Amino acid sequence: MLNATEKEQFIQEGFVVRKAFYSADEVAAINQAFMDENKEGPVAGLSDSIKAISPDDPLARFPRMMHPHRHPEKQVGQIALEFMLSPRLEPILRDLFEDEPIGAQTMFYFKPPGARGQALHQDNFYLRVKPGTCMAAWLALDVTDADNGGMRIVPGSHRNEVVCPEEADLNQSFSNHFVAVPEGMRAVDVEMQPGDILFFNGSLIHGSPPNSSENRFRRSLIAHYIPAACEEVGHWYRPLMRFNQDLVQKDFIDDGGPCGVMVSAPH
């Protein structure tokens, strides 16, 4: 559960960090499993197809893995599913949503040295949750800071509307979507230790700069959730799962939405 200060911070700023949520042993086991899964490079059906910008683009060797929890036959699949539906996370997410949380997505970012980041964006643009908002639980698996491309967030921006993104600079970001920092707000870097979790509202503007460190990976395991009371969600996020693994039906939206057609699997 969250204390009153954490809850107030989440309401005002749209995020909260829980320190040392996973132990060093748990973090090491997660990293080992994903590094093993990627040891021959990207895995068909699991790794994202990120377009390399040069022959030595580190993301060509280490693209993020999308929805690993949908692969129960793999160790990484079991790890991602356990993380998404962890009884440790459930009461916190319930507190943040003031509703039952439903698991919608997992991702694993390797973000090796030299990798591009992900330009500022809002998750609700992709998940299209209505009414309400999606929510992220972002587990740090390395020390993360501005140097190795840690998370950058715009506190308070979750109270703004979801906006149609502009074109991002593809030399800095593997994703082509970019949402500017609203006037009067500023982006801040979130420094985290392995095992810390950042929870954030799906309308919060966030992203990460490139990993400009010499030799430090910035790995993270991420789950996204929707509230039980929402009626609509993007079709990419099917199946939706309760914490007891029961499947949940919603209106799965597959039109272009207010910002036009999305041609590939987002986020």
Ligand X SMILES: O=C(O)CCC(=O)C(=O)O
Q: Which residues bind ligand X (CB under 6 A)?
A: 109, 117-118, 123, 136, 138, 206-208, 220, 222
Pick 17 or 222: Cβ nearer ligand X: 222
Nearest approach, Cβ of residue 218 and ligand X (Å) = 8
Angle at 221 between CA 219 and CA 226, to 5 degrees: 150
Pick 55 or 266: Cβ nearer ligand X: 266
Nearest approach, Cβ of residue 222 and ligand X (Å) = 4
Nearest approach, Cβ of residue 242 and ligand X (Å) = 21
Nearest approach, Cβ of residue 198 and ligand X (Å) = 9
Q: Which two tokens stand for residue 164?
A: 């149609």
DSSP 255: S
Nearest approach, Cβ of residue 138 and ligand X (Å) = 5
Pick 199 or 243: Cβ nearer ligand X: 199
CA distances from 215 to 13, 72, 161, 192 (A): 32, 32, 38, 17
Pick 207 or 234: Cβ nearer ligand X: 207
What phi and psi, each to the nearest 5 degrees, are found at residue 69? -65, -15
Nearest approach, Cβ of residue 135 and ligand X (Å) = 10
Pick 85 or 115: Cβ nearer ligand X: 115
Pick 138 or 243: Cβ nearer ligand X: 138
b/e burial code for range 136-146 (CB count within 10 A of at least 16 → b): bbbbbbbbbbb
Is beta strand 232-234 parallel, antiparallel or unpaired with respect to 251-253? parallel
CA distances from 133 to 51, 200, 228 (A): 30, 10, 11
Pick 73 or 216: Cβ nearer ligand X: 216
Q: What does the alpha-carbon distance between residue 107 and residue 153 come to, in Å, rounded to a whole number? A: 18
Contact assessment for residue 80 and residue 139, using Cβ atoms and an 8 Å cutoff: no
Nearest-CB residue for ligand X: 208
Contact assessment for residue 200 and residue 153, using Cβ atoms and an 8 Å cutoff: yes
- Helix then strand then coil, in percent of the chain rounded to 5, is 20, 25, 55
Pick 26 or 189: Cβ nearer ligand X: 189
Nearest approach, Cβ of residue 4 and ligand X (Å) = 26
Nearest approach, Cβ of residue 53 and ligand X (Å) = 17
Query: Measured in Å, how far apart are the chain's first and last C-alpha atoms?
Result: 28
Contact assessment for residue 239 and residue 81, using Cβ atoms and an 8 Å cutoff: no
